[in-house]
Amino acid sequence: MHTSVALLLELGIILVVLSGLGAFARRWSFSPIPLYLIAGLALGQGGIAPVPAAGEFVQAGASIGVVLLLLTLGLEFNTAEFRHSLGRHVPSAVLDLVLNAAPGAIAGWLLGLSWLGVLALAGATWISSSGIIARLLDDLRRLGNRETPAVLSVLVLEDFAMAVYLPVLAVLASGGTWWRAAAGVTVAVGCVAAAFAASHRWSHHVNRWLSHPDSEQLMLRVLGTTLVVAALAELVDVSAAVGAFLVGLTLTGNAAERARAVLAPLRDLFAAAFFLAIGLAVSPADLLPVLPAALALAVAGAATKIGTGWYAAGRDGVARRGRLRAGTALVARGEFSIVIISLAGTASAAIGPVITAYVLILATAGPLLTRWSSDWFRRPVNDERPGAGEPR
């Protein structure tokens, strides 16, 4: 009974605090994500007001938050358009890998890490946060911008690449053999390809099953199906985010519009838990000694992601302002970097605090850079409309 009281009290306080922070952010027209991250830091172990009873609930909610963020992002697009965009941005994904894995690999080499530690650190600096970026694009109303398909293509191709990277890292970190790693990669890649093909070929059947005139039934069917697909994706070492995104792609037209409407409150609630959980996992005392190294790595990571987004948006014919928006949108790191470090085994002891600080810096700075990026190339107010001012 006392545990229940503590849980309810802490959750109530958390929600009230998040409400105030969200209202403040909206008042000044920026994303609340940095404030949620800082709140998590203050409420975690070693913070000014720890919430131990609510921690487990927040962590569970964080997993659902990522799934809902990518589901609602997928609802904005259809499989044919997105498949075409993915094909066009394979070179962008290659550049993304080269530019963004390099700082981690170089840092690992300079620190004298083992080859496994170098591999883990390279992956942690490479991958952007799909969850943070999905919420950010929605907060800033940029889902319809011309550069957004390029941003999403890079994100999804990164998530697909994780189907190769994570099984290899997990097997090697546990002392497994190369053939076991190769087998894991084969299964994961096959499942991703099959899921994407099924999403495109049989989307009308899925759309018919998920659609229902009753809003409650629609919500339950879409949410239940998405969680099942996300779980199956995780089972074969593919990101749950990819599975959720593919479910979103299958819904089109009126069904997609209604699904967005009924899922929006749930998405916002669990997304807040996701951002809060990143901060809760960090002890401020662990960050201070590694802050200079993490800051240097974060500056390099921000620059290389801006370069990636600039190139990717340029392939779609986007002008300078849109290219900068694309680059800054990709800066945030988050859930994947933490997962990679957790899989790195003994290597994680040396680099875990650095990457945790690195993630927190870029998860906070990324949304702020994205919010302010439009002001760096000042144009007339009406140039945001297609055909007005400089073409986007």
Mean per-residue pLDDT of the chain: 82
Q: pLDDT at position 32, please?
A: 87
pLDDT, position 101: 95
The pLDDT value recorded for residue 2 is 53
Task: Note the pLDDT of residue 72.
Answer: 87
Instruction: Please say if the pLDDT value at position 167 is more than 50.
Output: yes
What pLDDT is recorded for position 390?
40
Task: Identify the residue with better confidence: 180 or 270.
Answer: 270
Q: What is the pLDDT of residue 325?
A: 93
CA distance 134 to 143: 9
8 A C-beta contact, residue 86 and residue 72 = no
In this structure, what token pair is assigned to residue 132?
């943070």
More confident: 392 or 37 = 37
Encode 244-258: b = buried (16+ Cβ within 10 Å), e = exposed: bbbbbbbbbeebbeb
Tokens of 256: 């997609």
**Residues 324-371: pLDDT tens digits?**
999 999 999 987 887 787 777 565 666 778 888 898 899 888 888 988
Q: Residue 47 falls within a domain, yes or no?
A: no
Assigned domain for 160 exists: yes
For residues 70 and 241, the answer to whether their CB atoms sit within 8 Å is: yes
CA 122 to centroid of chain Cα atoms: 17
Average pLDDT for 12-20? 92
Which DSSP string corresponds to 51-87?
-HHHHHHHHHHHHHHHHHHHHHHHTTS-HHHHHHHHH
Distance CA 339, CA 182 (A): 20
| pLDDT for the residue numbered 94 | 94
Percent of the chain exceeding pLDDT 90 equals: 24
For residue 99, being part of any structural domain is answered with: yes
User: CATH code at 240?
Assistant: 1.20.1530.20
Within a domain: residue 229?
Answer: yes
How many distinct structural domains can be found in the chain?
1
pLDDT tier for residue 384 given thresholds of 50, 70 and 90: very low
More confident call, 320 vs 185: 320
183 in a domain, yes or no? yes
What confidence tens digit (pLDDT) does each residue in 43-100 have? 877 778 888 888 888 988 988 998 998 888 888 776 666 777 777 899 999 999 999 9
Q: What is the pLDDT of residues 115-129, one digit of tens each?
A: 888 998 999 999 998
Mean pLDDT over 261-277 rounds to 90
pLDDT single digits (tens) 200-236: 666 666 677 777 788 899 999 999 989 998 888 887 7
Per-residue pLDDT of 288-304, as tens digits, reads 888 898 999 999 999 99
| Residue 47 pLDDT | 72
pLDDT for residue 311? 96
Rounded Cα distance between 391 and 24, Å, is 33
The reply to whether 73 falls in a domain is yes
Q: Quote the pLDDT of residue 3.
A: 57
9-13, 90-94, 142-146, 388-392: which range is least confident on average?
388-392
Q: What is the pLDDT of residue 389?
A: 39
Residue 310 has pLDDT above 80, yes or no: yes
Parent domain of 199: 57-281+291-374
Per the model's pLDDT, the better-predicted residue between 4 and 216 turns out to be 216
Does residue 15 belong to any structural domain of this protein? no
Does residue 9 lie within any of the structural domains? no
Residue 199 has pLDDT above 70, yes or no: no
